Structure 1
Amino acid sequence: MDYTICLENDEERFVAALRRGDREAQRVLYETHFSPLMAICQRYTGNEDEAMDLLHESFIKIFGKIGRYESGTALLAWMRRITVNTAIDYYRRSVRRRTEDLERAYHISSDVPDVIAQCSAKEILAAVQQLPPTYRTIFNLYVIEGYSHKEIGEQLNITDSTSRSNLVKARSKLQKSLTAPGR
């Protein structure tokens, strides 16, 4: 069966094949959604190898949880949610949480021009990947995924103010990185 056509035209049959553990259907799902899910993983990790590990872990969870997928829900959105949650788990495993000093974070000047708007996506991704894991995770959850500080706090077991502080610091580090001579 040509699962590529099935995925595009008959998602229900495709998901049924995934639920049966059909390796060809799994291959098609992996190849079809590799790029968008890898982009998520790259935003949460420090390098390509870690991103690939996170992607593989995400696909293992996707294949393991496909029985819980509810038709009518966008398959890619469901897979993105699993990937983001896997990234959050990765963060929890790899980083000790600590509360940052709020006072210094809020004294960062807002007069600095928005350098992020002047950079290519590749430059921004490289700069985000260089952020410390805590800053990188909070930046991604807030800026890319659209979580509120309250939701981030609940996900990462930190306070709302710590999330805000770390986001300010992440943006400051990004500005410094993206405006550094010879970047």
Structure 2
Amino acid sequence: MLFEKKISFNQNDFDSVVAACIAGNNQAQRYMYQKYFGYAKSICLRYTSCLEESEEVLNEGFLKVFNNLKNYDPSYPFKVWLRTIMVNTAISYYRKHKKHIEDRTALEDVPELRLEEDIVSRITADEVLKLIQRLKPLYKNVFLLHAVDGYNHREIADMLQLNEATVRSQYIRARNQLQELIRQYYPYSYPGSWSVKTSERSYA
């Protein structure tokens, strides 16, 4: 058919938005992009080292979203599905460019510092994320994947194409380095104890 009618959608009916996007309705795709732009970009910014990289990951991630919407299960929370795609896209970008030297020191070579459990509650989430951005790229990615996005070490090893012992060592190194950064930039947060409890894997 030369002039095929575009399927309509209702912004208050998300299923109709998804259906319209799958059917190629540009307005529906634009609406979905704008609705989730801020959320998706915040994820991409976490996993990249600059704005330019985050925008590349964001654009590629949304392309994957639209190309795979037909496989989306409506019974699954859309933001979790979207986040998974954005995280995987960011990790693929990291692996592809290989800009950074990976530290593959074994776990037993890394002494683990005791992290005190209250420190994060004494500084803001934005302050914590800014410090995480100061970590080495591999440390940062491993820490974010485990502590923020809730992946286990085996899953992270598969995503980063590393062995599990390496992932564990990088996570410990990231924790140690983050603790030192908190001590350096926010000395008032001591003494106390802390743990990171920011996993989003259980979103409803």
Distance change in 2, residues 1:173/1:114 (3 Å): farther
Distance change in 2, residues 1:138/1:182 (3 Å): closer
2:48 aligned residue: 45
1:76 aligned residue: 79
CA offsets, 1:112-137, max 9 Å, x none?
56533322111111111221111111
1:94 aligned residue: 97
What are the residue-to-residue correspondences of 1:145-156 with 2, within 5 Å?
Answer: 145-156=149-160
2:165 aligned residue: 161
Q: Which runs of 5+ in 1 are unaligned?
A: none
Q: Percent identity?
A: 32
Find the structure with the greater CA-based Rg.
2
CA offsets, 1:64-105, max 9 Å, x none?
212222332222222111111111211211335451243442
TM-score (norm 1): 0.85
Q: Which runs of 5+ in 2 are unaligned?
A: 1-6, 188-204
Task: Say which of 26, 29, 33 aligns to 2:32.
Answer: 29
Task: Say which of 68, 84, 89 aligns to 1:65.
Answer: 68
Distance change in 2, residues 1:150/1:139 (3 Å): same
What are the residue-to-residue correspondences of 1:106-117 with 2, within 5 Å?
Answer: 107-110=111-114, 114-117=118-121
Q: Output the CA distance in 2 between the equivalents of 1:51 and 1:131.
A: 17
Q: In angstroms, what is the RMSD of aligned CA positions?
A: 2.4
Equivalent pairs counted in the alignment come to 179
2:23 aligned residue: 20
Q: Output the CA distance in 1 between the equivalents of 2:179 and 2:122.
A: 11
What letter matches 1:99 in structure 2?
R
What letter matches 2:59 in structure 1?
H
TM-score (norm 2): 0.77
